Structure 1
Amino acid sequence: MTVSTKVDVIDAVLGLDSSSPVHALRERRAKLKHFTQTSYEAAFTPSDPGNFSFAMRAALAARMAGLWRSAELQAHYKELLEERGSTPGLQAIADPGVVPEGDERLATILAHVDLVTLKPREATRANIEALYAVGLDDRDIVTLAGLIAFVNYQVLVVAGVKMLRDN
């Protein structure tokens, strides 16, 4: 079960209010907008976050948005990270230029996130086996895959809506 937010994240990060023609255009696809927002809520506010804390999810999302150079989404996820209990280690994860040393589990997770975000065709079964090798279980891997898939989808939607907004 997720906690519903009142504000649509994509509208918020792009500064779309009810007077915006792009907001009106998005409302013409209200179901898609709703499903995108509920997917966001499922990814970032599940009733049981498992081994990926709410703060860790925000840090990983900020990292992916940074890899895509989506400044609006990266700022959103960094703010969410602060709200959820940021630590210096999580702040470092949010920076796509950071490669952690001394934590093989985290390094493997981040390498997987970066690979699937930037070069998904290069991901193989060996990458999944590497996640198992550092202690992730099936639930963790599915959680990570869902988070990666959603944030990468969201980045593309934001880019498209931003293009409409700006032109």
Structure 2
Amino acid sequence: MTVPPKTDVIDAVLGLDSSSPVLALRERRAKLKHFTQTSHDAALLPAEPGNFSYAMRAALAARITGLWKATELQAHYKAQLEEKGSKPELRSIADPAFRPEGDKRLATMLAHVDLVTLKPKEATRANIEALYSVGLDDRDIVTLAGLIAFVNYQVLVVAGLKMLRDN
């Protein structure tokens, strides 16, 4: 079970209104639109956030979108981060240039997020073992993988729709 947002995130970040041909196109694939939003909710707003708070999830999503320079999505996730009670250290995570010092667990997690986002073919079993070595368990690793996968998918969908909207 998830906590549903009030609006479709992709429609909102693209500023699509009822007169938009891109919105009409998205509505022709209503099931895909619904599943994309449902995936967002599962990755970022699950009923039970486990070891990844809503704010941490938003910070990681902002980082991933920042790596891709997906400014509209990054702004959305930074706003979500603030909504969820952002602490200064979480705001730092949202910055793709941030490298934590003295926190091996966080450094390992962020290195994994960056690697899988920018160079997924270079990720190996050793990267997963590194996550285990800093205390992440199977559930944490699956949660992190799902978040990375969804936000990267969302970046691509928004980029494609943005091209249609702007051209």
Same fold (TM over 0.5): yes
Gaps of 5+ in 2: none
Partner Cα distance (1:85, 1:115) in 2:
27
Q: Which amino acid aligns with 1:77?
A: Y
Partner Cα distance (1:6, 1:89) in 2:
28
Aligned pairs for 1:17-166 (under 5 A) are 17-166=17-166
Q: TM-score, normalised by structure 2?
A: 0.99
Q: How many pairs are equivalent? A: 167
User: 1:89-146: CA deviations, max 9, x gaps?
Assistant: 0000000000000000000000000000000000000000000000000000000000
Runs of 4 or more, structure 1, over 2 Å off, are none
RMSD: 0.5
User: 1:7-49: CA deviations, max 9, x gaps?
Assistant: 1100000100111011001100000000000100111111111
Partner Cα distance (2:80, 2:12) in 1:
13
Gaps of 5+ in 1: none
Partner Cα distance (2:137, 2:97) in 1:
27
Identity of aligned residues (%): 81
Q: TM-score, normalised by structure 1?
A: 0.99
Partner Cα distance (1:63, 1:4) in 2:
22
